[in-house]
Amino acid sequence: MNTPVAVHNDLDLPTGQRERKAYATLAAQFALIGVELIRGDPEVIGQTPYYATRYGLWKPLESLDAARDYLAKRTKAGRGQELQTQ
């Protein structure tokens, strides 16, 4: 039997401070350049909170700020820039 996953209510925060909204917006921006932004599983100890993936390559990202920086580098380099696993 499937049980609903508890969702954190962030509606008491200003729109600009909502983590789910920030993630959804950033994931859409990643999709525009052909890269998928994936949330890691918070239950797994030691797992990175976010990952960027394209063509089977994975780039761990420590925070949404790190994801924004990664996206900025990719868009400045152009859409042809491949995923770097550095």
DSSP letters along the chain, please?
A: ---PPP----TTS-GGG-HHHHHHHHHHHHHHTT-EEEE--TTSTT--SEEEEETTEEEEESSHHHHHHHHHHHHHH-TTPPPP--
pLDDT for 85 equals: 47
Q: What is the pLDDT of residue 14?
A: 57
Q: Give me the helix-helix angle, 64-77 and 19-32, nearest 10°.
A: 20
At 80 the pLDDT is 47
Calculate the CA 64 to chain-centre distance. Answer: 6
Q: What is the pTM of this model?
A: 0.67
